[in-house]
Amino acid sequence: MQASLSLSCASPVISAKSNPALGSFSKSSALRFCGLKREVLGFRSVKSVGLGRIQRSVSRTVTAALSGNGSASKGFDYDLVIIGAGVGGHGAALHAVEEGLKTAIIEGDVIGGTCVNRGCVPSKALLAVSGRMRELQSEHHLKALGLQVSSAGYDRQGVADHANNLASKIRSNLTNSLKALGVDILNGVGSIVGPQKVKYGKAGFPETEITAKDIIIATGSVPFVPNGIEVDGKTVFTSDHALKLEWVPDWIAIVGSGYIGLEFSDVYTALGSEVTFVEALDQLMPGFDPEIGKLAQRILINPRNVDYHTGVFAKKITPAKDGRPVLIELIDAKTKEPSDTLEVDAALIATGRAPFTKGLGLENINVVTQRGFVPIDDHMQVLDAGGNRVPHLYCIGDANGKMMLAHAASAQGISVVERVCGKENVLNHLSIPAACFTHPEISMVGLTEPQAREKAEQEGFEVSIAKTSFKANTKALAENEGEGLAKLIYRPDTGEILGVHILGLHAADLIHEASNAIALGTRIQDIKFAVHAHPTLSEVLDELFKSAKVNCAVSHSVNEPVAA
C-alpha cells in the first residue's frame, strides 16, 4: 500500500517561492496524512502554536467519523460511493471520511485489489528474497566485505508463503482501516444504473440500488494477454499466477521487458532459472530513459543467465502437455514473417495490463470506453460519447489509463475528493514517481531525455543534462554497491526540473526528493542549497543538483527565516 501526504487547501501551506529547504507554513495550516491515517495508527495531530513551540492535541475530525461515517447530503444515501476497493479506492475513501463525507465502497473481489493481492505487495516479498539470494550467491561481493558464507539455498514453499502472508497482512490492515473510520463496505459487483445511481450484488442474489451525490469508478486492471497465447496457469501464465510461485522453471521465457518482466527476471534468475526475454520493440526496457535502459541492460541482463530476442512478436504460445515443452512461435515485428521457435519449460506473459471496465453500466450514461479505458478530463471527471463531462462521476487509477500505478490511483482519488469538496485540485502527473524494484533498483519521475527534447523543440527552449555516479558516494561504496547513475534533465534558463532518472542502490527511495521538487515547483537554484546528511545515499541527488548549471540567479537563501 502506498501511504501519501496531502496538504490542506484551507490555507496556503507551501509555496514554491518560500524557503527552499523548509517551506513556509501559516499558523492555520495542518498536515493531513492519507492512506492508513495517523489516527488509525494511534498518532496524535500536531498543531503549531508559534515558532519553536508545538502543542499536541487529539484529532476530533476522525473521532466524529467513527460514530457514523458522517451524514449524507439531503436526498442521497451517500455523499460518495466508490466502485472498487484497491489502493485507489481505499485512499479516496479514507480521505473522503476525513473531509466529513458519508462514504461507501463497493468491492466484488477482495479489499486491496491487484496491488495488494496480485501485484506490488506480493512481488516485493519475492524481490526481497531474490535480493538476499543475490548477496549470498555473490562470492566476490561477500569477499570484498570480509564475509564467508556457505552455499545459499531456499525453500520454495517458504518463499511463496512469505509473499502470501504479506498480502494477507496488508489486506487485513486496509480492511480494518476502512472499518475503523466507519466506511461502509458493500460486497458485490457494482455498476452504474443512471445519474448518481449505483447497484451492487453477488451473482445469483438480488441486487441493491443506492444513490450518491458523487461516484468514483476505481475498478483497476487485469493482465493483458495478446491473441494467440494460450494461458493454462501452470506452464503459460501471467503475473497473477507467477506470484504464487508454485514452481521454479529451469528455463522460462518472459514475454515483455517492461517493469513486470524485468522484476520477474530478477526473481527467477536469483532462484536459479534461465530467462529468455521476448520483446516486440527493437530494444529491451523500451519504457525507460534510453541511457538508463542501456546501463540497466549492462547491470541487470548481460551478467546474468538471461538472453533475449528483440523486434519479434510471440504469435502463438502453446502450453506444455504430454511431455512436450512450451512452444513459442516468433515472427518478425515489422515483416510479420516467421522468425524462430522456442522450446522452454514455462512462459510468463508480461505484456502489460488492460482496464477492468466491462459490466460497469457505462452505456446507461452514454459513456463509451476507448480501448477499454474510461475517458476523463484533467479532474478525473468522466466524459460522455460527445466529450461532455458527466456530472458527479469520476474515474481513477488503471481504469482511466492515465498512469497505471497504484500510488497514482491513490493520488487521483484524493484529488477527486478535494474536487467534490469544492477545492480546486489538479494533479500534476509529471510529479508522480515510478520504480522498478530490481537489484539494483530503477526509478524515474517526469520526462525521459527524448520526451524532454521533443517538448523543448515544440516550445522553443534548451535542455541540459547533469549526471552523478554512485561510485563517488561514500555510503554506496561502504555497501560495496557502487554500480549506478543518477541523471537530471532540466531547463538551464529557468532551473525547472523536467525529469530525474536513477539506477542504483535504493533508487526507489531516492526519487522522492526529485518528485516532491517537481510537485512543489522547486527550482534547481533553490534545492541545491538543501542539506543532506553525510554519509548517505541522498548525497547522490545532492551532488546531482549541485552539478547543474543554471543561467538565472539564485532566488532564495536557505538562511531565510521560516514564517511564524
Q: Residues at the annotated binding site for NAD(+)?
A: 256-263, 279, 352
d(CA 326, CA 399): 32
**463 closest CA partner among 444, 480, 450:** 450
Grid cell digits, residue 238: 501471467
User: Can 534 be counted among the known catalytic residues?
Assistant: yes
Region of 153 please: left (phi>0), alpha (psi -120 to 50) or beta: beta
Grid cell digits, residue 95: 480521505
**Alpha-helix runs per DSSP H in 11-101:** 61-66, 87-98
Can you tell me whether residue 381 is helix, strand or coil?
strand
Handedness of CA 444, 445, 451, 456 (dihedral sign): negative
Do the beta carbons of residue 352 and residue 238 sit within 8 Å?
no
d(CA 131, CA 136): 9
Helices 156-180 and 87-98, packing angle to 10 deg: 30
User: Residue 417: what residue type?
Assistant: V
d(CA 122, CA 166): 7
**Alpha-helix runs per DSSP H in 369-448:** 406-420
Do the beta carbons of residue 503 and residue 301 sit within 8 Å?
no
User: Residue 490: what residue type?
Assistant: Y
Sequence-separated (6 or more) residues with CB below 8 Å from residue 123: 163, 239, 243, 263, 264, 267, 437
Can you tell me whether residue 129 is helix, strand or coil?
helix
Catalytic residue among 140, 241, 532, 534: 534
User: Residue 314: what residue type?
Assistant: A
Residue 317 β-bridge partners? 229, 328
Q: Could you list the residues known to form a binding site for FAD, using ranges.
A: 124, 190, 219-221, 398, 404-407
HSE-CB at 508 with a 13 A cutoff on CA atoms is: 11
Q: Which helix (H) or strand (E) holds 54?
A: strand 53-57
Cβ neighbours of 43 (radius 10 Å): 12
Q: Which helix (H) or strand (E) holds 475?
A: helix 474-478
Q: Could you list the residues known to form a binding site, using ranges.
A: 124, 190, 219-221, 256-263, 279, 352, 398, 404-407
Cβ neighbours of 161 (radius 10 Å): 13
d(CA 110, CA 122): 15
Catalytic residues: 534
